[in-house]
Amino acid sequence: MLKTRLIPCIVTKNELVVQSFGFQKYLPIGNVKTAIEFFVNWDVDEIIINDIDATRDGREPNIELVKWAASECFVPLTVGGGIKSIDHIRQLLKAGADKVSINAVLYENLPFIKEASSVFGSQCITVSIDAKFENGEYLVYSYLDQKTIDLDVVEWAKCVEKQGAGEILLNSVNRDGSRLGYDTDLLKIVSDAVSIPVIALGGIGRFDQLAEGVTKGGCQALSAANIFQHVEHSTIAAKSQMKEAGLNVRLSSNVKYEDFELDLLGRPY
């Protein structure tokens, strides 16, 4: 039986880590290298680094940062932001990334997925989908344009799977930074529609909300961003909550996962 992955998502503006709120407001947290150094010392299964302004600012992927991160990471590393070409992917994988996350380029060039997966394998290609519930339906949201696109999220997910995506990173714009938990309705309709893994993202404010991404949303992996930037040793407590909820998770032999108690904010004590 496959284990449920826990994947911190480090949201950056270049090398500055930020907390995101509704894709509109951003709170600076610190340097991306500090965040990576924290996560590699705790119990995570993968790490995602997403430079959300790279494409908008016309920047190419930060290859030197990826080289440094890969030298520090002992878990698979997914990198997103500024990817527009096969050469960008080649450079990132050569620098040490295990996967790439692509998004904006696909709105104008959907076959880019097929081209990339045929060269590098679908296991290297994660497609990031930002979804917003608007006027009674889930639509694809464009961060670059700061508005929804006339694309149904489920149909778009089917399209990227057909083109050769290996997995989908599904983020809820409505829940981003809300601390209300995942939009499990969104997760469920997409995970039911595709056969590739779906990674849940958006809205986690307490660790006991994580498991619903699997139990209600049907996802194969759980990701969060903001919560991991301000709660000490949070990835350990997150795994403890996932285990308590009955999920099959990879556990470090050096960590005791039982007997955690959480305060009102979901912090371990």
Residues annotated as catalytic are 130
CB-based contacts of 90, cutoff 8 Å, min separation 6: 119, 120
Rounded to the nearest angstrom, the gap between the alpha carbon of residue 144 and the centroid of all alpha carbons in its chain is: 18
CB 50 within 8 A of CB 81: yes
With tokens 């030197």, the residue in question is: 64
CB 127 within 8 A of CB 99: no
Cα distance between residue 233 and residue 39, in whole Å: 9
22 sits in the region (left: phi over 0; alpha: psi -120 to 50; else beta) called left
Cα distance between residue 181 and residue 164, in whole Å: 30
Rounded to the nearest angstrom, the gap between the alpha carbon of residue 59 and the centroid of all alpha carbons in its chain is: 21
E strand residue ranges, the chain: 5-13, 16-21, 25-31, 47-51, 77-80, 99-102, 125-134, 137-142, 147-152, 167-172, 198-201, 221-224
CB-based contacts of 264, cutoff 8 Å, min separation 6: none
